[in-house]
């Protein structure tokens, strides 16, 4: 809990232009998550640290942190984060390596299409600006590089940037408790929708998590009954919006599952109800 709170505070500080404070809080959150062995959290904090670095023009630091985040995300099978990091790494390669940046953007687009995870609306403006920068730097070779990135195996593409990905390890416990619509085939999706139409209702846009997945996590062998528990299981409230768009529908689903009201929904332990008074 403390590590994720530090992440939220750090990114809030970053948005306010307090880069040193942001880095300090994110570094401490990363230290805690490394100690806990929470690799999904480690990848998140590395991504946010890299974002702070790239926004501050610290290209080398940003590249190193995006690379590590991609490697960790590969180990735990978090392909959404890999796509996000590819897009961030493309920014970090500017302006010296525009051809490579275009290839990474192409690879990210192909990956998002493959897993059914479109770019969140909150990220689209920054992404469009990056594409304009990369296109301008490619001297007419943007489309060819983009196509190469889409077609090339990801490991091969990243190897050209000096990053060797390790094989995916066993997913962390609890992260895959609910069936994932984004990675299912057509028959599996039909089965899920027949079981619960909520699988067709996205409640967390950043991580593309459906209401059906949330209900499955809440009624699993180890039920997720708080907002933080859902975050650990499904990566809700961990994307660019940091919960600002999804906390309300998630709280409603938690209230329905418990038979109580939204006022009784907790972030974590007793006393952390999200609505005071």
Nearest to 208 by CA among 97, 91, 146, 123: 123
What percent of the chain is predicted at pLDDT more than 70?
87
pLDDT for 122 equals: 81
Is residue 101 within 8 A of residue 88, CB to CB? The reply is no
pLDDT at 181 over 70: no
Band of residue 101 on the pLDDT scale cut at 50, 70, 90: very high
pLDDT of residue 186: 58
The reported pLDDT for the residue numbered 233 is: 77
**In this structure, what token pair is assigned to residue 82?**
């890999």
229-253 per-residue burial string, b: 16 or more CB within 10 A, e: under 16: bbbbbbbbbbbbbbbebbbebbbbb
User: Tens of pLDDT along 13-62?
Assistant: 999 999 999 999 999 999 998 888 888 889 999 999 999 999 999 988 99
Question: Any idea how long the chain is?
Answer: 277
Mean pLDDT (the chain) is 82
Show the domains of the chain with their CATH numbers: 2-159 (1.25.40.10), 181-264 (1.10.10)
When pLDDT is cut at 50, 70 and 90, the band that residue 168 belongs to is very low
Q: Is the pLDDT of residue 87 over 70?
A: yes
- pLDDT tens digits for range 188-241: 667 767 888 887 788 887 777 888 888 888 887 678 889 988 887 787 887 767
Instruction: For residue 178, give both structure tokens.
Output: 């609910």
């Amino acid at each position: 809990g403390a590590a994720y709170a530090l992440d939220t505070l750090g990114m809030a500080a970053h948005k306010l232009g307090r880069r040193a404070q942001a880095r300090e809080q994110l570094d401490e959150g990363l230290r805690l998550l490394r100690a806990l062995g929470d690799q999904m959290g480690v990848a998140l904090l590395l991504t946010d640290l890299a974002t702070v670095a790239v926004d501050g023009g610290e290209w080398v630091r940003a590249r190193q942190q995006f690379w590590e985040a991609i490697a960790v995300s590969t180990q735990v099978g978090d392909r959404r984060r890999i796509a996000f990091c590819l897009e961030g790494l493309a920014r970090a390669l500017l302006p010296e390596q525009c051809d490579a940046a275009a290839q990474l953007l192409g690879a990210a687009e192909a990956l998002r299409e493959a897993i059914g995870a479109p770019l969140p609306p909150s990220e689209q403006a920054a992404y469009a600006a990056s594409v304009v920068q990369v296109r301008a730097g490619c001297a007419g070779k943007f489309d060819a590089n983009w196509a190469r990135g889409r077609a090339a195996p990801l490991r091969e593409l990243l190897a050209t940037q000096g990053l060797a990905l390790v094989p995916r390890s066993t997913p962390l416990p609890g992260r895959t408790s609910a069936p994932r619509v984004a990675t299912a085939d057509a028959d599996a999706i039909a089965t899920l929708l027949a079981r619960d139409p909520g699988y067709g209702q996205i409640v967390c846009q950043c991580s593309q998590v459906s209401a059906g997945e949330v209900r499955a996590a809440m009624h699993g062998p180890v039920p997720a009954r708080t907002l933080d528990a859902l975050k650990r299981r499904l990566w809700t409230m961990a994307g660019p919006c940091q919960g600002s768009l999804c906390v309300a529908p998630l709280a409603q689903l938690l209230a329905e599952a418990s038979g109580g009201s939204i006022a009784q929904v907790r972030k974590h332990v007793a006393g952390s109800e999200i609505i005071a008074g």
